[in-house]
Structure 1
Amino acid sequence: MLYRLLQLYIGLSLYGISTAMFVRADLGTDPWNVFHLGLANLLSMNIGAVIILTGAVVLLLWIPLRQRPGFGTVSNVIMIGVAADAGLALIPSVEALVARSALLVSAIVVNAIATGMYIGAGFGAGPRDGLMTGINARTGWSVRNVRTAIEISVLLIGWSLGGTFGVGTVLYALTIGPLIQLCLPWFRQKPKKNSKPRAERVV
């Protein structure tokens, strides 16, 4: 249990740090962080605070969808935003394109490792993924279509608000799936012998 908690919080912290790396690279980020950056620009807030605020609002949308948050869900809402602001305080701005490109690639790799860690810990769905699975359960629409609709919506809204869309957004979309598939087996918790397998839930 203690090991799983440690894995969860390290994973969430690394996810927040990867967000800060995307921001410092300034070459584009994943759709949700395009949205977070755009909203942060509109509200003149730190991106960490916007991540927490967005997570809380998305969590409220679980109520009509009859989704139940887990311990990892609440931790996800708070920890990623806090870690993102801490990462921005520690990681300096970079100007050279080579350095920014290296930071972008590193951000994608760290993001994949972080995702594998907190999914593998198995403490419940994150607010954004829970929204996806909740809509799927209530409407019968495919997960693929629901996920695509959500990602495109937040991307377009974030971009219209001034969020950073660029080559990093495309590179993330093309590589994050295979990278998570590679990383997840490293961190998936195996059930103890003579015990029932624990149902895996996506964070």
Structure 2
Amino acid sequence: MRKIKLWRWAFYFAGLLVVSLGISMTIKGYRLGVGPWDVLHVGLYKNLGLTIGSWSIISGLVIIIVTAAFLKEWPKIGTWLNMILLGIFIDFFNWLIPDYETLGAQSVIFVLGIIVMGYGAGLYIAPNIGAGPRDSLMLLVVDKFGLSIKRARTIIEVVVALLGWLLGGPIGVGTVVIALLLGQLVHYTLPLNRKLLMKIIGETDEKVLL
């Protein structure tokens, strides 16, 4: 049991690290736009200072408080770690990755960033340790309004992206590409990483991840 728990947490932390790298890569390709939530975070950064990662943490905290108030329960520890570590890792990679001036270079790092994000999301979701704050908000909207997950996610991301755009965040064709493509990538990377995790821990029944 200890081995299973250790590997689950290893996948979770590795996934957060990888998905944060992907987010920072798309931010470095900002001419094409960034992900819907990052449009908001960049817009807030431009207007109010702090860092993009800090705004990711702050917005995540607000979402956790709102969803907890509606659900009348606090989220799992994995949700809190997602909120904090994602912001810290984003700031680290934004500092580590150099800025690119040409459209060609930004386009390359942007596309690679989407692929990295897709893999990282599948990696951290696979061990089933806890949904991120934004995923929790999506599930709350689904529950309260009876919408499909796809429609709830689309509505939330459109609203968030428009708000970020009004604040000066970089919205563009890449924003639409991320919104449409990321879920499709996770559709493939999640079962791939879950299968890998099950193989490593030597189990065949996914109930061990509950």
TM-score (norm 2): 0.88
SS in 1 for 2:89: helix
Matched residue, 1:77: 83
- Structure 2 CA distance, aligned partners of 1:169 and 1:175? 10
Q: Deviations 1:93-148 (Å, cap 9, x if unpaired)?
A: 11122211110011000100110001102101111110111222233233333222
- Tell me if 1:4 matches 2:47: no
Letter in 2 for 1:71: I
Encode CA deviations 1:12-44: one digit per residue, 9 max, x unaligned.
112222221112111211111111111111211
User: Does residue 19 of the first structure (1) align with residue 23 of the second (2)?
Assistant: yes
Structure 1 residue 31 and structure 2 residue 36: aligned? yes
Q: Is the 8 A contact 1:31 1:151 kept in 2?
A: yes
Contact 2:21 2:90 in 1 (8 A): yes
SS of the equivalent of 2:126 reads helix
Which residue matches 2:116?
Answer: 110
How many residues align? The count is 200
Over aligned residues, Cα RMSD in angstroms?
Answer: 1.9
1:128 maps to a residue whose letter is R
What is the identity percentage for the equivalent residue pairs of Structure 1 and Structure 2? 36
The 5 A counterparts of 1:1-203 are 1-26=5-30, 27-66=32-71, 68-188=74-194, 189-190=197-198, 197-198=207-208
CA distance in structure 2 between the aligned counterparts of 1:28 and 1:40, rounded to whole angstroms: 15
SS at match of 2:188: helix
Q: Where in structure 2 are there 5+ consecutive unaligned residues?
A: none
Shift in CA distance, 194/55, structure 1 to aligned 2, threshold 3 Å: closer
For structure 1, the 5+ residue unaligned runs are none
Q: Is the 8 A contact 2:157 2:179 kept in 1?
A: no
Deviation sequence 1:166-185 (CA, Å, 0-9, x none): 12112213321221112112
Q: Cα–Cα, structure 1 residues 95 and 124, in superposed 2: closer, same or farther, change >3 Å?
A: same
Q: Provide the rounded CA distance (Å) in 2 between the counterparts of 1:136 and 1:177.
A: 16
CA distance in 2, matches of 1:194, 1:159: 46
Give the TM-score normalised by the residue count of structure 1: 0.90
